[in-house]
Amino acid sequence: MIRIYAARWVPPAVQGLVRDLRLRWALEEAGLRYEETLLDRDEWGSDSYRKLQPFGQIPAYEEDGLVLFESGAIVLHIARKSDAILPAEPKAQARVISWMFAALDTIEPPLQTLAMMDLFSGDEPWAKMRRPSALQSAERRLDDLAKYLKGRDFLEGGFSAADILMATVLRIPRHCDIISSRPVLDAYLKRCEARPAFQKAFGDQMAGYKANEPVAA
């Protein structure tokens, strides 16, 4: 049986962005059943959890004695179980995997930097000074991506694991209009998010947060 480890609750600013969403979505697209174990923040650094995830981060994945960490690696493992999100033809598969790496290595870092700066350090003098260059870096990458996606529904042929990773990355800067102001990317993200598998995965993640929301003092 597949088991994923996810956060029991996170603050509203990051709800819907925690990376177990990628696993849930991939599993739904692949039609694979799974169970979840929800962990409190102080459990992430426990010795028992670090045996699954050496860095004490969410998510982790278990399956018949196999333990995996890093969301991209886990999504690739899941994708290899189903041609629904990874083509069997070797060259097509290689292209999809290339875009999976692009989502995590090229697009995510500048978007994550911008979001972290805006959401958690926006009032700091250093953040105000660095933000223009961070925004420029993010916009340059997004413009390149929009140029590639123009005229395409998805990154490489039909919907694939690459789109799961790319769409979840494009959700990161939802606090600003950097995606919505680019019609090609806005339409692409909405197309991905409209998929029933995403809706199910997102709903399940959010249901866990709602059920475990801290009681106000």
Amino acid at 159: F
Contact yes or no for 173/111 (Cβ under 8 A): yes
Cα–Cα distance between 34 and 24 in angstroms, integer? 9
Contact yes or no for 36/208 (Cβ under 8 A): yes
Q: What is the pLDDT of residues 104-160, one digit of tens each?
A: 999 999 999 999 888 777 677 787 888 888 889 999 999 999 999 999 999 999 999
This prediction's pTM: 0.95
Closest by CA to 206, choosing from 2, 20, 3, is 20
The residue extents of the domains of the chain are 2-84+198-211, 90-195
Q: What is the pLDDT of residues 35-93, one digit of tens each?
A: 999 999 999 999 999 999 999 999 999 999 999 999 999 999 999 999 999 999 999 99
- Say which CATH topology domain 2-84+198-211 has: Glutaredoxin (3.40.30)
Distance of CA 26 to the CA centre of its chain: 10
**Token pair for residue 145?**
């991506």
Q: Specify whether domain 90-195 bears CATH 1.20.1050.10.
A: yes
